[in-house]
């Protein structure tokens, strides 16, 4: 294992910010795994730490295949993580909206540039990502629909779903999109936690990455190959939103099978406990995502449901 500093940013009142990378094997740049780009992505750093531990053992046993190398970057934003703030503390900008970066630009642009110049030539790029809304997902691989995406290849992770959606203008400055533009086959892996550690989904994601790298011939690792993944398109999912603000009392969790008309949640008055609204399933399906915040506002997305044709 080789530990390197990809980028260092000077600081007047605290220790310099150093973005560290851990490289295993040698030869072609085969795969790069990136963890937290935001300061609250604790689960993403944790999953990288688990991968680093496994890769260290595989390297000692000669299981990183000859001529292949793997890099892991646990955290791109350690300063914000140290104070528990999701975005860059000084100006509240999002590093994952600054790629490919600019070495003479704003601080977060320089950070993105300092990282991307080291990872833009990898064959495969894997990002442990998080959603902009607080909540839980079924673990899945996500990718943007561009002329460069490889949906069938994403099934090699063995996660239950491969989620594909059309790229939007604001996506053009994300790590995933720019990896694709520069010729890297890029994938984002989502679990059901961000600012807390969820052991079960973390283990599932780590195993998925190892399974993918094994199938790609980068490592030799006998692991559970997971599911036969189902490809779902972003526009197929049914969104369920709140019409009334209040406490969010959830009855249906991620991966639950629900029927049209079934009670998903209740919205209650924070002071009196009175039920203000009942959230009903509009279709038969599987809960793909649910919100996690206890207090919600009008038009807050509460659920995303994968429609199914369940008859029994």
pLDDT at 170: 87
Give the model confidence (pLDDT) of 278-307 as tens digits.
999 999 999 999 999 999 999 999 999 999
Q: Which of 50, 71, 49 is nearest to 1 (CA)?
A: 71
pLDDT band at 154 (very low <50, low <70, confident <90, very high): very high
pLDDT at 249: 97
pLDDT at residue 310 is higher than 70? no
Query: Mean pLDDT throughout 182-195?
Result: 94
- DSSP per-residue string spanning the chain: -EEEEEEEE--SSSPPEEEEEEEEE-SEEEEEEEEESSTT-HHHHHHHHHHHHHHHHHHHTT-B-TTEEEEEEEES-HHHHHTT-SS-TTT---GGGSTT--TTS-HHHHHHHHHHHHHTT-SEEEEE---SSSEEE--EEEEEESTT--HHHHGGG--SEEEEEE--GGGGGSHHHHHHHTT-EEEEEE-S-SSS--HHHHHHHHHHHHHHHHHTTSB----------EEEEGGGSEEEE-SS-EEEEE-S-TT-EE-TT-EEEEEE-TTT--EEEEEE-SSSEEEEEEE--SEE-TT-EEEEEEE-----
Q: What is the mean pLDDT of the chain?
A: 94
Residue whose tokens read 């086959």: 185
pLDDT at 236: 95
Query: Mean pLDDT throughout 249-266?
Result: 96
List domains and CATH numbers for the chain.
2-233 (3.40.630.10), 237-307 (2.40.50.100)
pLDDT at 144: 87
Query: Mean pLDDT throughout 234-238?
Result: 95
Give the model confidence (pLDDT) of 53-70 as tens digits.
999 999 999 999 999 999
């Amino acid at each position: 294992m080789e530990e390197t500093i990809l980028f260092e940013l000077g600081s007047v009142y605290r220790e310099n910010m150093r973005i560290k990378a851990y490289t295993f094997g040698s030869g072609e740049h085969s795969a790069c795994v990136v963890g937290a780009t935001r300061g609250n992505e604790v689960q993403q750093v944790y999953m990288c730490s688990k991968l680093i531990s496994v890769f260290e053992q595989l390297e000692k046993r000669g299981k990183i295949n000859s001529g292949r190398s793997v890099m892991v970057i646990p955290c791109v934003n350690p300063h914000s993580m140290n104070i528990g703030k999701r975005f860059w503390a000084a100006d509240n900008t999002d590093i994952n909206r600054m790629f490919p970066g600019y070495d003479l630009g704003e601080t977060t642009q320089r950070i993105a540039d300092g990282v991307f110049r080291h990872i833009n030539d990898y064959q495969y790029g894997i990002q442990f990502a998080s959603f902009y809304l607080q909540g839980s997902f079924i673990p899945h691989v996500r990718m943007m629909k561009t002329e460069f995406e490889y949906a069938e290849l994403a099934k090699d992770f063995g996660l239950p779903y491969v989620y594909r959606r059309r790229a939007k203008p604001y996506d053009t400055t994300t790590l995933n999109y720019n990896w694709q533009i520069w010729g890297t086959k890029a994938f984002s892996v989502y679990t059901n936690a961000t600012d807390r550690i969820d052991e079960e989904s973390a283990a599932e994601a780590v195993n998925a990455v190892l399974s993918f790298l094994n199938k790609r011939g980068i490592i030799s690792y006998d692991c559970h190959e997971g599911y036969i993944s189902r490809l779902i398109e972003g526009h197929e999912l049914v969104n369920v939103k709140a019409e009334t603000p209040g406490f969010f009392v959830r009855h249906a969790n991620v991966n639950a099978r629900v029927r049209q008309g079934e009670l998903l949640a209740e919205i209650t008055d924070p002071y009196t406990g009175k039920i203000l609204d009942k959230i009903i399933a509009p279709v038969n399906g599987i809960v793909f995502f649910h919100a996690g915040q206890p207090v919600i506002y009008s038009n807050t997305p509460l659920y995303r449901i994968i429609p199914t044709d369940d008859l029994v």
